Structure 1
Amino acid sequence: MNINSSAEVLQTGFRIAMGAASSVMEFLSNPQKLQQDLTKPPQPLEQLIQELAAKGEKTELEVNNFVKQFFPDANYSAKYPQYIERPNEQCFLQPFNLKNANVYGFFLEGSLEKLQKLCDKYLNEPSDGKVQYRPATNYVLMTLATIDSLSSIERPDSEKVYCSEEEAVFWVVAVAGKQVGSAFVGERLVCFMPYIFVNDSPILVSGREIYGICKEIGFFQIPHPEQKPELFTVDTLAWKNFSSEAQAKKQRLLEVVQIEKQDKTQREQTLNTPDELMEVIRKLIFQNQGNIEIPSFGWSLPLNIIESLTYKSVRAVFLKQFRDIEDGRRACYQAIVECLMKISQYHQGKILSFGDVGDKFELKIYNFASHPIVEELGLQGIESLEKESVRLPIKLAYWLNFDFILENGTVIWKSQ
């Protein structure tokens, strides 16, 4: 174990003690488990300490969450100075209420190896392995959405203004967990958003400053739910190559096109609840009744974690960081944060394309040095002869209409 300071020694010792206490409570409540463990070969001391420390850290997080839930006045941020508001403030007060979200979702096939490198770069390596995130599947979700109203839940911002939003997001489903000896122990499913485009500055600023969501401005063509979903487009400021003479220009980044129409009797499948969509998603990306198998990574996830995959509540993870003013190559603040997005009201939805159901769609992504989406996500498609774009088959397409809440976040790890 690499312990670099007396503070870490104390913290690790505390977690080992908590882990040991938690194990004792488990044995007292389940004597049969104690008998089973006594029959196992003894563990190496180093591995036992690591397991107890991991269990203690998990218990510590659960206690903190319990305190925050039932004792909201125990505010850990009370030591921070008051935020200075401006009349033209672009960073609105969270949490947020989002109403009438029309979300089109498109599943694409990516590469586990590329997605692991992505998780390593933006989540695992900044914390030097203190937090661990691994891709749960090689499938990547892209959503295109319009949201009629985004507003603050808390006063005074709740009484000031609301914004409408258009957005395009790439989602990577990952597993947060701990390395215990040679084994990775998955604890919860999360979603990481390596690319997200929005239409307005308050949406961009609030997302970046509060949650660390790496948003950028985009320009969209997204069909209204009453229109046929035949063409979606996203433009943004992009550049083909890195050069001192390269100029950022508004350019077409991607488009989704309906390429094949089915008979009307097969064109859609109504979704009465979001759980019906999740059943279809599980069939597509996990294809296993008991476990999420990750063959090339040699590990799997227990059923209770699979069941936590639900559209009713999505936990997102971000790298929140700010450049230092004296040395821009360094971050004056850097943290791994998570937050919950919860559906408050589901309205309707449908499957647009899956197997024999619905129309067929195709995504075209244009290649830019500024936006290496295909390369970073390992998306599998057909490159054009000029190598200017890549055409990608869409494995599953859907549309949902709902309201949701973007909650306050939690700091999982923060640099010292």
Structure 2
Amino acid sequence: MAQASIQPNFIQFPGNVIAEPPCRMLNANQYGFFVKGCSEKIQNYIDVTLNAVKSDEFRFKALSAYTLLTFTDIENIASKVPPFSEQGWMQETDIIFWVPIAKMVNKRGKEKIDHIYWYPAFITVNNIYALINGRETWGYNKYLCDYKMPNIGELPQFFELTLDAFQPFSPNTKMAKHKLLEVNLVEQGGEHPVSDFVELVKEAFEILKSDTDFFDLDLNAIKQLLDGFVNPQMDQILFKQLPNGDGSKAVYQGVVHSPSIIKKVHSAKIYKHEFDVTVYQLDTFPLGEMFGIYPGTHRALLPFNVVMDFDQEKACEIIATKGL
């Protein structure tokens, strides 16, 4: 567990844009696509981030060769804490690669799953306020992006993610806008509406359980998933670090937890359409090295759409190392 320490109060000075969590999210229009990567690459990414904060009690393990790619347009976001809640609201769009992981502990000589999390391992956003608050308070690995995605109710035909980046890596390369990925509807097949978030998750696991590469769960993990059907939420885990002045050391390095509490589902559906995810080579953001999702075309599994309201809770330390 995190060591107790005396921490100074965070200074809110004029012109500072850090708002206190939690925050509430209204009309979040999310499209999701499961994309198969490589378990070894995903585990390596976890090892060099989450598992870099050493513990004798637990480690984090990849549960799947699949990542979940989501495009989420959130219509209205604001802090729930005065005076920040009185300052206004904003729109935010997130494009995220999620990795399902487990916190593994030793019990009676055997390694068991203690808790299941979703790791937003790579996340891009469309506004600077969201980027600053997400990185500094929660530890989200956020980067600014340009994007294209459908509006609520439209046929989901095309999605695109473009980033300012170096391609290729070279002393002579000037940063420019480059496309990282796109998602294309390649065959229409209708849609299957579901009544709420719980049914969406159940439908997902009914489809995915036949794929032996998807989840490796024990009874404790299955119990947690079932408990989540009663009070729907997505438990997020994040790797948070702050560099020192020369960038060679970390003055803070920690693993934190922040749940997304689902408040209301306006609509939810699983698509019978077929989608392809096309990944492009971008040296700054090498999805092949990160997750085993190499440049080329990948068929998406279980495409879905959900429109919901949710609260993003404050981040709590699981374990941390603080420099002097």
Question: With structure 2 as the length reference, what TM-score do the two structures score?
Answer: 0.91
**Equivalent of 1:395, from 301, 306, 309?**
301
Q: Which residue of 2 aligns with 1:355?
A: none
CA contact (8 A) 1:137 1:285 kept: no
Question: Which residue of structure 2 aligns with residue 334 of structure 1?
Answer: 253
What is the alpha-carbon distance in structure 2 between the residues aligned to residue 255 and residue 177 of structure 1? Answer: 34
**What does residue 359 of structure 1 align with?**
273
Q: Deviations for 1:227-246, whole angstroms, at most 9, x for unmatched residues? A: 21101111111222322222
Aligned-partner Cα distance in 2 for 1:280–1:345:
18
- Mark the structure with the bigger radius of gyration: 1
Provide the residue aligned with 2:240 in structure 1.
Answer: 320
Identify which of 274, 285, 309 aligns with 1:371: 285
Question: Size of the alignment, in residue pairs?
Answer: 319
Q: Residues 293 and 301 of structure 1 are in contact (CA less than 8 Å); yes or no, is this contact kept in structure 2?
A: no
In structure 2, the residue matched to 1:269 is 192
The structure with the greater share of residues assigned to helix is: 1
- How far apart in 1 are the matches of 2:239 and 2:199? 31
How far 1:215 sits from its partner (Å)? 0.2
Letter in 1 for 2:204: I
Higher RCO (CA < 8 A, seq sep 6+): 2
Q: Deviations over 1:223-272 (max 9, x none)?
A: 1012211011111112223222222211111111001123xxxx011111
TM-score normalised according to structure 1 size: 0.72
Question: Residue 28 of structure 2 is aligned with which of 101, 104, 108?
Answer: 101
Contact 2:53 2:320 survives alignment (8 Å): no
**1:345 is aligned to 2:264:** yes
Taking structure 1 as reference, are residues 240 and 129 closer, same or farther at Cα in structure 2, changes over 3 Å only?
Answer: farther
Q: CA RMSD in A?
A: 2.4
Per-residue deviation at 1:165?
Answer: 0.5
Q: Write out per-residue CA displacement over residues 27-47 of structure 1, whole angstroms, 9 at most, x where no aligned residue.
A: xxxxxxxxxxxxxxxxxxxxx
Instruction: Quote how far apart the aligned CAs of 1:108 are.
Output: 1.1
Counterpart pick for 1:116 among 31, 35, 43 = 43
Counterpart CA distance in 2 for 1:168 and 1:341 is 16
Q: CA deviation at 1:301?
A: 4.7
- Moved beyond 4 Å, runs of 4+: 308-311
Distance 1:218 1:308, change over 3 A: farther
Q: Does 1:184 align with 2:104?
A: no
2-side partners of 1:181 and 1:368: how far apart? Answer: 46
2: CA distance, partners of 1:305 / 1:112 = 22
Change in Cα spacing, 1:412 to 1:219, as seen in structure 2 (3 Å) is same
Q: What one-letter code is carried by the residue in structure 2 that aligns with 1:378? A: G
2:251 maps to a residue whose letter is C
Partner of 1:405: 311
Indicate if the aligned counterparts of 1:231 and 1:256 stay in contact, CA closer than 8 A: yes
Tell me if structure 1 keeps the 8 A contact 2:57–2:106. no
Aligned-partner Cα distance in 1 for 2:100–2:36 = 12
Higher strand share: 2
Cα deviation, residue 135, structure 1: 1.3
Q: Which runs of 5+ in 2 are unaligned?
A: none
Q: Which residue of structure 1 lines up, in the alignment, with residue 78 of structure 2?
A: 151
- Does the Cα contact within 8 Å between 1:97 and 1:150 map onto a contact in 2? yes
Amino acid at match of 2:276: E
Residue 95 of structure 2 aligns with which residue? 168
